Amino acid sequence: MKVNIVIYSEELAREDIRVLLQAIRDCEQKHFKGKEVSIALFAPALSKEQCHELITGIEPGFPHIQAFTGGAI
């Protein structure tokens, strides 16, 4: 099973996005072990580097990072 999750937020604060990403990862670990879950993060208010830090800072790390970007899309 393959699941793609896209998060697009113009208003969530950086910490709120981090909490959301961690909650998704925790749920994946508990209920979808062995499934391919990929994340795409688009947050125009954040830089590309900030998005990268957020998505790669989740523990355990996401094995399938689909995309991430900051700034205007």
Read off the pLDDT of residues 5-42 as tens digits, 9 standing for 90 and up.
Answer: 888 988 999 999 999 999 999 998 899 888 888 888 88
Query: What is the Cα–Cα distance from 53 to 16, expressed in whole angstroms?
Result: 14
pLDDT-based confidence at residue 4 (cuts at 50, 70, 90): confident
pTM for the full model? Answer: 0.81
Q: Exposure pattern of 11-28 as b/e (b: 16+ CB <10 Å)?
A: ebeeeebbeebeebbeeb
Rounded Cα distance between 8 and 15, Å, is: 15
Whether the bond between 60 and the residue before it is cis, its omega within 30 degrees of 0, is yes
Distance CA 60, CA 30 (A): 12
> How many domains, in total, are found in the chain?
1
Q: What range defines the domain where residue 40 resides? A: 2-70
Res. 73 pLDDT band, cuts 50 70 90: very low
Mean pLDDT of 33-61: 85
Q: Predicted confidence band at 52 (pLDDT cuts at 50, 70, 90)?
A: confident
